[in-house]
Structure 1
């Protein structure tokens, strides 16, 4: 590790002795990435406020995935066949990639870490494909959090493979009943609570009064999550990820999850940048890239409904 890089990140021990990487920007923002799962568990602004939700009951005990933060769903989202639910990337140990291939990078982003996941014999038995999954987690000078995934087919047998993918991001909110998600209005979605039946979003924004589990299709590159109580807006920018999943388990499902507090559903919302409806297919040697950028915009100057287009233009 170079002396300059060590100013911006360090490797240390986290819960249960698991290795984690701390990223720090000189202006005060920070992020925390566990090598277990390549999992971002913390993102704080320059005031030290936590922006991601992490359950107080998250176990940090492999092979169970960590509840909260940003789990990575690969090579599948949801549950199909003999693969783990949401794939295996989120409950495998990643390595720090000291020699990544050329990566178009913003030179102002000095707080970053490159991770890599390759299949073990165990993975090859349940998903018989050779791949290299490279993940860069970076903090921008303004405190933005950026995740870039690059997945390459390294099969030597000439066979392509297909996968689905999601950044399963848990955002911390003050009160789910005071949250609006804007940018998804008029779009079609599949409702997972109604056997993936297809509907069209009718409201001018998505609000929460009960359990929600929807996959929106052909979504815009920018989505806004407005937390009225904190006068804060999260802005998601995504590339290579056409779908967006919105999830809150509400009270009954929260109580049924051992690693989730009974009332914690009130303080989180998942808005996930994803590629699910149309699986990505890679031939040997081909690479896919999916990028997510998260930023915060103060909405204290607004009253009433916040126009996300204005926020997105200003940010």
Structure 2
């Protein structure tokens, strides 16, 4: 099924995944970030901060951001690395993974750029598969070293789940 890249007028192209029971997910090409995940009753499951800045080059607060090649402030890069502030592409030649039975999915890729190499001198490819199935959202990251030297990195996805009332039982 061909992917549909849409723009809601906020300047952030996104891919909207849907599946037959009615659940959906929105994945931004900016940051490879999932910014919406709705169940079959169209209820939002991810929290997006009202303080989120939807302007480049800021990271967007909420959803499921991707942190690479550094998580936290464990190194010399900006907190949580730079993958969250880069424009990703749809991966036209995704790595082989198990079949996505009854799932709708998108494969994204982020490759190191000349700008990245100035702050983190390592060549890489970061791939992310986002798959949606009834009641289930799956993210599968893969990092490929395209450098001639080994390197270390840290990686994280942070899930900001929506809670209607934290005082609830």
Query: What range is the shorter-chain TM-score in?
Result: over 0.9
Deviation, structure 1 residue 174: 1.8
For 1:104-124, what per-residue CA distance to the aligned partner results, in whole angstroms no more than 9, with x for missing partners? 223221x11000000111111
Residue 31 of structure 1 is aligned with which of 25, 30, 33? 25
Query: SS of the residue aligned with 1:90?
Result: helix
Question: How many angstroms apart in 2 are the aligned matches of 1:14 and 1:66?
Answer: 15
Unaligned 5+ segments in structure 1 are 179-227, 229-315
Moved over 4 A (4+): none
| Length, aligned pairs only | 169
Question: How many angstroms apart in 1 are the aligned matches of 2:106 and 2:84?
Answer: 17
Question: How many angstroms apart in 1 are the aligned matches of 2:100 and 2:55?
Answer: 35
Deviation, structure 1 residue 63: 1.1
Question: How many angstroms apart in 2 are the aligned matches of 1:148 and 1:15?
Answer: 29
Unaligned 5+ segments in structure 2 are none
Name the structure 1 match of 2:125.
132
Deviation, structure 1 residue 16: 2.3
Name the structure 2 match of 1:57.
51
The TM-score with structure 2 as length reference comes to 0.94
Query: SS of the residue aligned with 1:123?
Result: helix
For 1:12-47, what per-residue CA distance to the aligned partner results, in whole angstroms no more than 9, with x for missing partners? 003522110000001100000000000000000000
**Structure number, greater radius of gyration:** 1
Query: SS of the residue aligned with 1:17?
Result: coil
Which structure has more relative contact order (CA 8 Å, sep 6+)? It is 2
The TM-score with structure 1 as length reference comes to 0.52
Q: Per residue, is there more strand in 1 or in 2? A: 1
Name the structure 1 match of 2:112.
119
Residue 147 of structure 1 is aligned with which of 133, 139, 150? 139
For 1:191-227, what per-residue CA distance to the aligned partner results, in whole angstroms no more than 9, with x for missing partners? xxxxxxxxxxxxxxxxxxxxxxxxxxxxxxxxxxxxx
State whether residues 15 and 60 of structure 1, in contact with CA within 8 Å, keep that contact through their aligned partners in structure 2: no
Deviation, structure 1 residue 80: 3.7
